[in-house]
């Protein structure tokens, strides 16, 4: 049976820092509703983060990454298995960052969610107390 090719927005492979050679077995795939991380060669692992659960993104590049045309994206989410996902040493990192950011906003609109619905309130006070 042939494997069905799924639709995706963008796909990037983690690379070695030296000249950006893609000799790793980690692939990041951005789909309409989730970010999928495939890792491993002998033992394969697949993890996904639903886009509406992403709280914040960070983008950085070291001098070495700039020379090799690479970058790092940090994804902060409310996901249990990957609350702080570091997508390190990928080509087209700025494009991937922008694509994830845009997809997150579109998925939040689709789910009719606001940023404040994802933030924990740990003050202990009941903000809905009407007894006063």
CA distance 48 to 80: 10
Q: How far is Cα of residue 99 from the mean position of the Cα atoms in its chain?
A: 10
DSSP code of residue 114? -
Rounded to two decimals, the pTM is 0.78
pLDDT at 23: 79
Position 124 scores a pLDDT of 43
Match 């309130």 to its residue by tokens. 121
Taking every pair of Cα atoms in the chain, the longest distance, rounded to a whole number of angstroms, is 65
pLDDT of the chain, 132 residues: tens digit per residue? 555 556 899 999 998 766 677 778 999 999 999 999 999 999 999 999 999 999 999 999 999 999 989 999 999 999 999 899 999 999 999 999 999 999 999 999 998 876 555 555 454 444 334 444
d(CA 57, CA 72): 11
How many C-beta atoms surround the C-beta of residue 12 within 10 A? 21
């Amino acid at each position: 049976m042939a494997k069905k090719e799924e639709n995706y927005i963008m796909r990037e492979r983690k690379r070695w820092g030296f000249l950006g050679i893609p000799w790793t077995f980690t692939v990041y795939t951005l789909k309409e509703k989730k970010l999928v991380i495939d890792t491993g060669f002998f033992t394969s692992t697949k993890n996904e983060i639903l886009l509406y659960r992403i709280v914040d993104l960070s983008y950085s590049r070291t001098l070495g990454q700039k020379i090799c045309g690479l970058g790092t994206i940090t994804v902060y989410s409310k996901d249990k298995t990957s609350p702080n996902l570091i997508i390190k040493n990928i080509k087209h990192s700025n494009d991937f960052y922008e694509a994830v950011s845009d997809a997150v906003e579109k998925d939040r609109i689709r789910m009719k969610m606001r940023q404040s619905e994802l933030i924990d309130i740990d003050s202990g006070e009941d903000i809905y107390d009407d007894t006063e």
